[in-house]
A and B are shown apart, each in its own frame.
Chain A
Amino acid sequence: MGDTLFEKVWKSHVVVEQESGPSLIYIDRHLVHEVTSPQAFDGLRMNNRKVRRPDLTIATMDHNVPTNDRSLPILDQTSSIQIQTLEKNCNDFGITLFDINSPNQGIVHVIGPQLGITLPGSTIVCGDSHTSTHGAFGALALGIGTSDVEHVLASQTMWLEKPKTFEIKVDGKIKNPHAVTAKDIVLSIIKNIGTGGGTGTVIEYRGQGISDLSMEQRMTICNMSIEAGARAGMIAPDEKTFDYLRDRKYTPKNYESLVEIWRDSLKTDNDAKFEKEFTLDINDIAPQVSWGTNPGMTCDVTESIPTPDDFSNGDDNQKKGAQKALDYMDLKSGTPVEEIKIDRVFIGSCTNARLEDLIEASKVIKGQKISSHVKAMVVPGSQMVKKQAEEMGLDKIFIESNFEWREAGCSMCLGMNPDILSPGERCASTSNRNFEGRQGTGGRTHLVSPVMAAAAAIAGHFVDVRKLDLN
């Protein structure tokens, strides 16, 4: 029996295998940010340990950085301390840092691929669950806790139980790819398999529906693997992958010879078997809108808010969860999604703040003003994305529509910086989590694609973007 893509990458990184229990896995790339690393560096200091491979470690600051004027001091003192701590740690331990003023600064999962740090067939870790994003390049990319950050800094390895394999096949062809996007595909998947559907597995996304996607869209898919509970998500590299990484800042000098190896080796063998399987047909999928407090609580934009009974399929615990979610979201079962009014729009995050996302969203709003009761902002995923967008004039389109145009960072995806919702505010957000209070205590998040968020900003409520002329 052949191997899956995951098994091939796994096997090529096993340093020590035991009869039972976890294996010691070598880590090719370690991405570090300000929030989950200070305690790890402290641990190294206490035990007089060094960073084993500073040359395989890259740091940036993204989670709590302000996204307004970067020439101003950071007002929040605790954020400021965390940022200074990362600067000191990178300096002390010899790690390359893209700081707040660097043209390479940005959300760690946006800059990794943009800089050519992310490579097919490699192992990548970061103290952030959305590390799964990098799997779009055929890497095994895992989110880890701070203890593992310390372990990888010290040893460039990590102990890991071998996850199970999960094939998610995306069949068919989207009729209007400007209106129905990768975000809608991945939300549909999570809606179907549930937020724990991928627990203990590494997902490989396969099929026509995946190979048709651009690299940036594939990143959106892999990014949200963690929202289905998966350890990682992967997509086998193809010519789109190799083209994307060619001539980036850190693309290896021997790149073409690496591509030759990857082209033949980094794919699942025909006779390989997956331990779990799911198939989604995307021929007729609609734009998705989350209505609850986890990403599995999602429906079509054309539907109405479900009853807890309809949602739970007879599971009492799920029913209680759905009722609680409706209460928190202040929604009534039976309300058409298109009638839900919004107060805020956030276009940003490691899920949907890349150049294509901003281009597609800008087409929706061009020449129009956002609804008078809506406040809207765009936070590019990286300073490089921001610069590219500005070179195309996208900033002007957004600003003329009354969007705020910000500096790069995680921003309102998790609201660690000043960008937060006020209690009760309802937001159409291109981010990845609609948990209670995620975007600000008492805030209400609806997860949508960038074009859906843009259309909601103009209309002041959700609209089915398939009705708009987007070509």
Chain B
Amino acid sequence: MEPFKNIQSIITPLDKVNVDTDQIIPKQFLKLVQKSGFGKFLFYNWRFDETENKRSDFVLNDSKYENSHILVSGDNFGCGSSREHAVWALQDYGFSVIIAPSFADIFFSNCFKNGILPITLDQEIVETLFIETDSVEIDLENQIIVTPSRTIPFTIDSHKKKILLEGLDDIAQTFQLENKIIEFEENSTVPSVLKSF
């Protein structure tokens, strides 16, 4: 995974609550067997109408947000299906930071596995970011969002911050603890599935 670098970008405001992963990446696009190429299907049913023309009233179709890397949305972002394809689609489209008052647990966890930074902020601050039109900076090291008029601090678990900043491979980290896993297995009382034939 690539280490997370500071982001300078304008904000794409997606002013909706309960944005579920079925909207982020509809099921007809879950059949690919690789991780790349999902960006063109991001928010597909909101971006395109029945005849596959762009819907002019959807924020991602506004050309001024074309190069935005920051998405701001409402409560409970990423709820529903555990599909990591949702994160792959956001990333492939170009987003590296998602800001919302709250996130669904599995989506939140999936973000960190792919180098996306989800930031949880109070509703009132999120409201101000919805109308922020200038470019802002996301500084993960210092845990701040810098707008032309102010600096907004955010909190993040130190373990997760390290994973993003160093682009750590989770599995390689875990393998360093293999002796602990072996120890656990030796004492485990739960039977193996296949031995119970």
Residues of A within 8 A of B (CB): 15-16, 18, 20-22, 24, 26, 28-29, 35-36, 38-39, 42, 47, 49, 52-58, 63-64, 76, 78-79, 81-82, 85, 96, 116-117, 119, 121-122, 127-129, 143-148, 150-151, 154-157, 159, 161, 163, 195-196, 199-200, 226-227, 229, 231, 250-254, 258, 261, 294, 317-318, 320-321, 324, 414-416, 423, 433, 435-438, 441-442
Report yes or no: A196 in contact with B79, Cβ–Cβ below 8 A: yes
Note all chain A residues with C-beta closer than 8 A to B109: 144-145, 148
Note all chain A residues with C-beta closer than 8 A to B75: 196, 317
Give B162's nearest chain A residue, CB to CB: A21
Report yes or no: A433 in contact with B80, Cβ–Cβ below 8 A: yes
Report yes or no: B76 in contact with A15, Cβ–Cβ below 8 A: no
Residues of B within 8 A of A (CB): 16-18, 20, 22-23, 26-28, 30-35, 45, 50, 74-76, 79-85, 87, 102, 104-106, 109-110, 113-114, 157-160, 170-171, 174-175, 177-178, 180-181, 184-185, 188-197
Give Cα A42–Cα B88 distance, bound, in whole angstroms: 15
Report yes or no: A56 in contact with B193, Cβ–Cβ below 8 A: yes
Give Cα A54–Cα B81 distance, bound, in whole angstroms: 25
Give Cα A196–Cα B23 distance, bound, in whole angstroms: 17
Given contacts A144-B82, A318-B17, contact A159 B27 (CB under 8 A): no
What are 9 of the A-B contact pairs (CB < 8 Å)? A20-B157, A21-B158, A55-B192, A79-B31, A146-B85, A146-B110, A155-B171, A294-B20, A317-B75
Note all chain A residues with C-beta closer than 8 A to B23: 435-437
Given contacts A55-B195, A144-B106, contact A195 B79 (CB under 8 A): yes
Give B103's nearest chain A residue, CB to CB: A199
Note all chain B residues with C-beta closer than 8 A to A127: 82, 84
Report yes or no: B194 in contact with A55, Cβ–Cβ below 8 A: yes
Minimum Cβ distance to chain A for residue B161 (Å): 10
Note all chain B residues with C-beta closer than 8 A to A28: 188, 190
Minimum Cβ distance to chain A for residue B33 (Å): 4
Report yes or no: B105 in contact with A15, Cβ–Cβ below 8 A: no
Note all chain B residues with C-beta closer than 8 A to A196: 18, 75-76, 79, 102, 104
Report yes or no: A147 in contact with B84, Cβ–Cβ below 8 A: yes
Report yes or no: A416 in contact with B84, Cβ–Cβ below 8 A: no
Which 7 pairs of residues, A with B, have the shortest CB-CB distance?
Answer: A21-B159, A147-B113, A145-B84, A38-B33, A145-B110, A78-B31, A252-B191
Give Cα A82–Cα B32 distance, bound, in whole angstroms: 7
Minimum Cβ distance to chain A for residue B73 (Å): 11
Report yes or no: A26 in contact with B188, Cβ–Cβ below 8 A: yes
Give Cα A16–Cα B18 distance, bound, in whole angstroms: 34
Give Cα A320–Cα B189 distance, bound, in whole angstroms: 51
Report yes or no: A199 in contact with B104, Cβ–Cβ below 8 A: yes
Give Cα A324–Cα B109 distance, bound, in whole angstroms: 28
Report yes or no: A39 in contact with B31, Cβ–Cβ below 8 A: no
Set B17, B31, B184, B196: member contacting A82, Cβ < 8 A: B31
Give Cα A199–Cα B108 distance, bound, in whole angstroms: 11
Note all chain B residues with C-beta closer than 8 A to A18: 159
Give Cα A29–Cα B76 distance, bound, in whole angstroms: 29
Note all chain A residues with C-beta closer than 8 A to B22: 414, 433, 435-438
Give Cα A55–Cα B194 distance, bound, in whole angstroms: 5
Report yes or no: A16 in contact with B33, Cβ–Cβ below 8 A: no
Minimum Cβ distance to chain A for residue B82 (Å): 4
Give Cα A21–Cα B113 distance, bound, in whole angstroms: 15
Report yes or no: B32 in contact with A441, Cβ–Cβ below 8 A: no
- Given contacts A20-B158, A151-B171, A252-B191, list 16 more A-B pairs with CB under 8 A: A20-B159, A22-B159, A28-B188, A39-B34, A39-B35, A127-B84, A128-B82, A145-B82, A147-B110, A154-B174, A156-B181, A163-B105, A226-B80, A229-B79, A324-B16, A435-B23
Note all chain A residues with C-beta closer than 8 A to B87: 145
